[in-house]
Structure 1
Amino acid sequence: MLATMYKRREKLAALLSVILLAVLSVYVLWRPPGTAEQWLNIAVFALPLLFMGSMVVSSRQKYNKVKKVEVPESNNSLSEVDHLVLKGDAGWFPRLLIFEKNGAYLGGWKLDKAAWWVRPLILYRKSVLSFFPATFGFYSNTGERILSWSRKGFKDTVVTIYDRDGETLGSYIQKEFKSLVHIKGELRGTDGNKLLSVQVSGFSGDFNLVDEEGRCWADFYNGRFPHEYTELFRDIDNDIVGLSGQLREDEKQLVIGAVGFLFMERQQRNR
């Protein structure tokens, strides 16, 4: 799946490069530049094309380095792992791939439901999903949906998290506009009781989710990644979230759902 991820990035970047080149060529033929200033304007418009071209080359190099590495898909369930490596996938709609640090593919989050009129807006800019109701599902490497969450609200974003049978595990309530520096929220159980407070750094995305009993449910520190696994994960930024081994299965699924939402939002803001 790692090699496939890099290959998809290469194909998408190549397609966008062709589209940008076609648009730029038509513009130059329609209004040929005649002065140095006009050529400079053309050069500015060509910068995205150069960026996409570099992405094609970079993705191809990463693909070539990992395509011969045999990494089996994970046999572990989400309840058994003590960490998640999260990678944004290339595509028209947002998708978040989940690996173990040895490269074994666990599954991924992808968009399940959104209003039909929202989908064209997503093609323009994925961050619009932060303003509209949507449902995401976590699909295992066998294609089975084992978790999902739906979001709604504006002032307070309410993320309801469900198990494989559609039963509610709990919710994550994010307090929008509460702080200009940090993202703040609460993880709640099925009866609405507060399980722990959530505070995410608005700059780095770091978080350390600790309940009142002192148990750390999950933690993330931007830039921290085991060096010995960078031969597989060849991006500059590789995100790894630590998970507690002291949680019940429903608690672990709940926090994984909340982490999935936080990283999906992070990915959309960066697009």
Structure 2
Amino acid sequence: MKEIYRKTSIFGYIVGIGLLLFGILYYFIWFEGFSVNGDDLIQVGISGVFMLGAGFYFKNVHDKFVEVDAIESEWNMEGIGELNLKRVPSILPKFVHVDHDGQPLLQIRPSEGQLRRVFLCFPILEKGAVFPVEYDISTMDGALLATFRIQNSVKQFTLTLKKPDGTVIGTYIQHLTKSAMKNRGTLYHADGSVWRQLEANNMAGDIDILDEEGRRTASYRYGLFPYAAHPAFQSTAHHEHVSFGSHISLEEKLSYIMIFFFWLAV
């Protein structure tokens, strides 16, 4: 979270100063009078002050943030029982999973080696709106855990999860006509057999996924965050929390990470 606060602060400073400078230029070049285009000038000025204030706010949060030393022996993907994905302000999309202390454990970034990744600086393209996109799930030191591909064929979204060696783990298909109001889709094994059926309980996206025996494999909650009162998360209001069943496999966890990343409204 400390990196997120630092980069958010920098983003606020840059945008705020840029808007204020633009407001000054606007006043001397395009401004005709408050009765003509004064509203535009006021909106630019207020936005600039707001973003500059956000920069100062997150700079103060960053300076007060106390990092907790990570215990390396506790880190293992199979032992992770939850998912708290947070976006890191950057040119290309980058997300980190943080624990209850705000310490990063794994990351999701566009896969290296694809030329089209440079176009992912445009948010509209992040979920495969124009061309298929690929993301890596890796540890914070870069060790690859899995790769997934998002493809939008107009009628449906197809997400394919692969091991580092390229072996397909599973495929998730979400039809646009059936998920216009709330997320729903089907997760398939590599052999094409149905793995899990997923359907959100409401438009907020809350969901509980059960296996054949009725045991909970994963739960997704928007706005219900168990660590909202912890110092690491008090300064942010947007939280989406995922908890995993203790009995599910590593491959199933990676599948849910792929799907819930796709569901993120950021």
Q: Which residue of 1 aligns with 2:260?
A: 259
Counterpart secondary structure, 2:77: coil
Q: Which residue of 2 aligns with 1:243?
A: 244
Q: Deviations over 1:112-140 (max 9, x none)?
A: 269746734x43x4023331210001120
| CA–CA separation in structure 1 for the residues paired with 2:231 and 2:246 | 27
Counterpart secondary structure, 2:40: helix
Alpha-carbon contact 1:24-1:46 (below 8 Å) kept? yes
Q: Which residue of 2 aligns with 1:65?
A: 64
Matched, 1:55 2:74: no
Cα distance change, pair 115–27 in 1 and its aligned pair in 2 (3 A): farther
| CA–CA separation in structure 2 for the residues paired with 1:20 and 1:114 | 35
Q: Deviations over 1:4-34 (max 9, x none)?
A: 2210111122122232223222222212343
Alpha-carbon contact 1:181-1:201 (below 8 Å) kept? no
Q: Which residue of 2 aligns with 1:193?
A: 193
- What letter is aligned with 1:183? N
What's the TM-score, normalizing by structure 2? 0.87
Q: Which residue of 2 aligns with 1:9?
A: 8
Q: Which residue of 2 aligns with 1:218?
A: 218
Q: Per-residue deviation at 1:97?
A: 0.9
Write the mapping of 1:144-159 to structure 2, written as runs, cut at 5 A: 144-154=143-153, 155-159=155-159
Q: Per-residue deviation at 1:229?
A: 5.3
| CA–CA separation in structure 1 for the residues paired with 2:116 and 2:170 | 29
Cα distance change, pair 128–228 in 1 and its aligned pair in 2 (3 A): closer
* Identity of matched residues, %: 18
Match 1:129 to one of 96, 120, 126 = 126
Alpha-carbon contact 1:197-1:211 (below 8 Å) kept? no
Q: Per-residue deviation at 1:189?
A: 0.6
Counterpart secondary structure, 1:64: helix
Greater mean alpha carbon deviation, residues 213-222 or residues 39-48: 39-48
Q: Which residue of 1 aligns with 2:79?
A: 80
| CA–CA separation in structure 2 for the residues paired with 1:114 and 1:55 | 35
Q: Which residue of 2 aligns with 1:182?
A: 182
Aligned pair count reads 261
Contiguous gaps of at least 5 residues in structure 2: none
Q: Which residue of 1 aligns with 2:137?
A: 138
| CA–CA separation in structure 2 for the residues paired with 1:42 and 1:137 | 43
Write the mapping of 1:197-212 to structure 2, written as runs, cut at 5 A: 197-200=197-200, 203-212=203-212
- What letter is aligned with 2:261? G
What's the TM-score, normalizing by structure 1? 0.86
Counterpart secondary structure, 2:200: strand
Q: Per-residue deviation at 1:219?
A: 0.6
Q: Deviations over 1:46-90 (max 9, x none)?
A: 343233223212311321221x33342764222111111111110
Alpha-carbon contact 2:3-2:88 (below 8 Å) kept? no
Cα distance change, pair 159–236 in 1 and its aligned pair in 2 (3 A): same
Q: What is the aligned-residue RMSD (CA, Å)?
A: 2.4
Counterpart secondary structure, 1:204: coil
Cα distance change, pair 222–117 in 1 and its aligned pair in 2 (3 A): closer
Q: Deviations over 1:187-220 (max 9, x none)?
A: 1111111111112366322121223332322112
